[in-house]
Every structure is written in structure tokens, then in C-alpha cells.
Chains A and B, each alone.
Chain A
Amino acid sequence: MKVILHGTRGAYPTSTPANQKYGGDTPCIEVVHEDERLIIDAGTGIIGIDFDKYDPKKRLDILLTHLHMDHIQGLGFCKPLFDPNREIHIWGPGGSIYPLQTRLTRFLSPPLFPVILRDIPSQPKIHELGRSKIEIGSFKVSSAFIIHPGPTLGYRIACGGKTLTYIPDHEPMIGQLELYKEDQWISGFDLAFETDLLIHDSQYESDEYMKKIGWGHSSMQICSEFASRTKTGRLIFFHHDPAHDDDYRTKAFESFMAKNSFDFPIELAVQGKEIEV
């Protein structure tokens, strides 16, 4: 299984030269196994995927964690959606009094977007998930609600004996700097338990987090503790704050790593990076 990071930035896309090292596009990752693929999240990173090099007869599955703008902003510009011969499935969080189709249409309709979701040529099929287990080709997908404002899912993808966990937006303990000591009280624990690769929200430093309690994001500290508690094999710090340029982010990461040690590797997400799991 290979994971390609197409968008790593949180909140909004940024194109300034000072933000190019880790990338300026908002969340989107691609999970590839032989000729099968999953797209997870449809931030502006999805626009950079070269869909032409893949078999257009194959169905395309797009999994959404939630509907905050940075995770769906690229959906309307995803080329295969406008191919009437393409079979497309969009999966996302249920858990609202409004169907997922209705919530997506709020964005994919005027005045925010010129084409209404129901008129998109591929006529994508919309599926709601909660605490679910589904199979998409060779991929075994588990989803569960995690703590973040509004219905928000984390995903665990198993394929070929390896697992990937993707929780890009997550505030496992609101206003606290440590997790509960009992594993079963930790949001998202099952999704990440003994996963080979964890891609997780790490937007803030600890002191910054205390000024942004309830915004739905993690500090590097709580993210690392989450990875440690879940016995993660490898951790990717994801969802970079667009207000932090590359130098700031690099220094914050190096400072954090100098003060802490973990028995698994940690690295900052870099847009365009391909990771073998």
C-alpha cells in the first residue's frame, strides 16, 4: 500500500513562497494498492492528482472525513466528476439531521459553486458512514466519529497486511494537555491501535493550543501521546497551520523533538511525498 500526500495544509490553501516546503494545498491523500486507489478528503490537494494516468473505467471512491471547507474545497474541481461515464462514490459522515447529499449541496450549488451537485455529469453516488466497516476492492475501511466540531470521521484502511490511520482534524481532549489514562476513553483509539502509519492533526504547539481550545485541533504533544498510546508504527504530523511558514514550522518541530523522545519515527507531512506502508 502506498500513500501519497496531495494536500497537507489546514484551514485554507496558501501559495506564498514561504509555505512551499510542506505544501500549501488543503487535505487530500491518495491510497494506492496495485491498480486500486482511494482518495481521502477533497481539499485543494485533490486538484493536483493526475487522474488521466489511471484507468477511467475504474470506479473512483472519495472518502470525506467531514465537510469543513478545507476538506471539500477541491471537490468541485475534481476532473472525474465531470465525466458522465465515470462511476464515482463519495463517502462521508452521517450523523446529522440533514442527509450528506443535502449538506454537500450547500457547497456544490449557487452562489458558492456554479453547478448543482445533482447536475454533475458523473452523478456521484453518496454514502453515509458512522461507526462503520466497509470494503472497497482490496481496501478494508473502518470509520468512527472522532472529536471535532460537527460530524467528523477518522478512517482506518487495511490492505495487504498493513494499516493506515487518517485523522486529520482531531481534538481528543478538549482543554487538557494529557489523554485519559484508560484507552477506551480516548477518541479515535480503535482506529489507530497498532496502525503502521498514522497521519494525524498536529496543528499547534502546546501553548498555542491553550488559546484555541475547542477549535477541534491537536498540539504536537497530544498528537504524539495519542500515537504512543495507540502503539503507532510511524507518525506523520499533518494539518499545518497556514499562518505558520516553513521556517516557523520547522523550528517548532525541531524544538519539540529535542525535548521529547518516542519509540517510533515522527516527521512533518510534505505535500507530494509518497510513503510506502
Chain B
Amino acid sequence: MSSRAIEIILSRQLADCLNVPVFLVDPKGNLMFYNAPAEGLLGRRFEETGEMPMEMWSTAFFPTDEDGNAVPPEQLPLVTSIQKHVPAHKTFWVKSFDGRSIQISVTAIPIIGRDQEFVGAIAIFWDNPIDI
């Protein structure tokens, strides 16, 4: 198995140091890594799951708009960054695993390395202080 690109390894090292949820995905959208704060969103531990395909992680935290309609995967910022190689931002609602609805904002950016190669994307989640 090949080593990850250095930009991805460094992104994981950054994510490990942050106290907000971070997802790191490869160019196909597979979730390569999520940090400890992100385990609260997914309800799973990275050590237990390892990588996750996009179909699994994009629906695992039940994203909805403010009217309660499901947000399809292609409208999630991380998926936009993967598909279009552009930064993306969106605010939506997720159900936490204790049943609460939480408004979160997500900022995703593509990771383009020194070789000018698109090697994946990183998303940072911000909990907004509105609980219902």
C-alpha cells in the first residue's frame, strides 16, 4: 500500500491538533481520516472504522436543511470540493447521536499539492450555538 501524499499526511497531523471536527477525504470522496471531535458527529471511532466510502459517511450524520429536508450528498461542501476542486461552505442541521438537532457550518477546501496534483479535500465543522 502506497504512502499518502505528504500534503494529506500533514493535514491529518493538523486535524489531530484541532478541537473542532475535521474530515479528510481522497479524490474519490472516501473518508481517509476524521479526528476525535468528528467522532461525535459520526458516532464512530476512527480506530474502529478506518476509511469510509462517501455513501456511508455522507449520510451517517443525517444532514437536513432548516425545513427538515434531507440535504443530498452532492450538496455537501466536501462533495462540492471533491467534484469541482473549489472551496465550498454551507450551514445545515444534523442530528446528533443523543437525538439533538444541531446547526453546523462546514467549510471545505480542496488540497492541491506541490506537484499541482489534486490529492483530496479537508472539511472543518463549526457547531453554531443554536440547539433545539
Flag whether B1 is at the interface (Cβ < 8 A): yes
Contact flag A185-B114 (CB < 8 Å), given A144-B3, A190-B3 = no
Q: Does more than half of chain A's interface fall in helix, strand or loop, or is it mixed?
A: loop
| A151 x B3 contact (CB < 8 A) | no
Contact of B13 among A131, A174, A190 (CB under 8 A): A174
Query: Would you give the shortest CB distance from B22 to chain A, in whole angstroms?
Result: 15
How many chain A residues sit at the interface, stated as a range, is 20 to 34
Flag whether A130 is at the interface (Cβ < 8 A): yes
| B9 x A131 contact (CB < 8 A) | no
How far apart are the CA atoms of A190 and B3 in the complex, in Å? 6
Contact flag A94-B115 (CB < 8 Å), given A144-B3, A184-B2, A186-B3 = yes
Query: Would you give the shortest CB distance from B7 to chain A, in whole angstroms?
Result: 8
Q: Which residue of A lies closest to B17 (CB)?
A: A175
Flag whether A189 is at the interface (Cβ < 8 A): yes
Flag whether A147 is at the interface (Cβ < 8 A): yes
Contact flag A184-B4 (CB < 8 Å), given A94-B115, A96-B114, A130-B114 = yes
How far apart are the CA atoms of A45 and B75 in the complex, in Å? 56
Flag whether A74 is at the interface (Cβ < 8 A): no
| B115 x A185 contact (CB < 8 A) | no
Flag whether A173 is at the interface (Cβ < 8 A): yes
How far apart are the CA atoms of A130 and B5 in the complex, in Å? 11
Query: Would you give the shortest CB distance from A153 to chain B, in whole angstroms?
Result: 10
Query: Would you give the shortest CB distance from A227 to chain B, in whole angstroms?
Result: 15
| A184 x B6 contact (CB < 8 A) | no
Contact of A188 among B3, B10, B113 (CB under 8 A): B3
Query: Would you give the shortest CB distance from A185 to chain B, in whole angstroms?
Result: 6
Query: Would you give the shortest CB distance from B30 to chain A, in whole angstroms?
Result: 13
Flag whether A163 is at the interface (Cβ < 8 A): no
Residues of A within 8 A of B9 (CB): 147, 185-187
Q: Which residue of B lies closest to A148 (CB)?
A: B6
How far apart are the CA atoms of A161 and B8 in the complex, in Å? 32
| A147 x B6 contact (CB < 8 A) | yes
Contact of A173 among B5, B13, B33 (CB under 8 A): B13
How far apart are the CA atoms of A32 and B113 in the complex, in Å? 33
Contact of B1 among A144, A147, A184, A187 (CB under 8 A): A184
How far apart are the CA atoms of A255 and B132 in the complex, in Å? 59
How far apart are the CA atoms of A176 and B14 in the complex, in Å? 12
Residues of B within 8 A of A96 (CB): 114
Provide the A185-211 mask, 1 if CB < 8 A to any CB of B, else 0.
Answer: 111111000000000000000000000
Query: Would you give the shortest CB distance from A213 to chain B, in whole angstroms?
Result: 11
Contact of B3 among A93, A176, A184 (CB under 8 A): A184
| B13 x A183 contact (CB < 8 A) | no
Contact flag A187-B3 (CB < 8 Å), given A147-B10, A173-B13, A174-B13 = yes
How far apart are the CA atoms of A93 and B33 in the complex, in Å? 28
| B12 x A145 contact (CB < 8 A) | no
Flag whether A146 is at the interface (Cβ < 8 A): yes
Flag whether A95 is at the interface (Cβ < 8 A): yes
Residues of A within 8 A of B1 (CB): 183-184
Contact of B114 among A147, A151, A175, A186 (CB under 8 A): A151
Using a CB–CB distance below 8 Å, which chain B residues touch chain A?
Answer: 1-6, 9-10, 12-13, 17, 33, 113-115
Using a CB–CB distance below 8 Å, which chain A residues touch chain B?
Answer: 93-96, 130-131, 144-147, 151, 173-176, 180, 183-190
Sample of 5 further A-B pairs with CB below 8 A, known A94-B114, A186-B9: A130-B115, A131-B115, A184-B2, A184-B3, A185-B9
Between A and B, 13 residue pairs with Cβ closer than 8 Å are A94-B115, A95-B113, A95-B114, A96-B114, A131-B5, A147-B6, A174-B10, A174-B13, A183-B3, A184-B4, A185-B3, A185-B9, A187-B3
Leading 7 A-B pairs by shortest Cβ distance: A95-B114, A130-B115, A189-B3, A145-B6, A190-B3, A184-B1, A187-B9
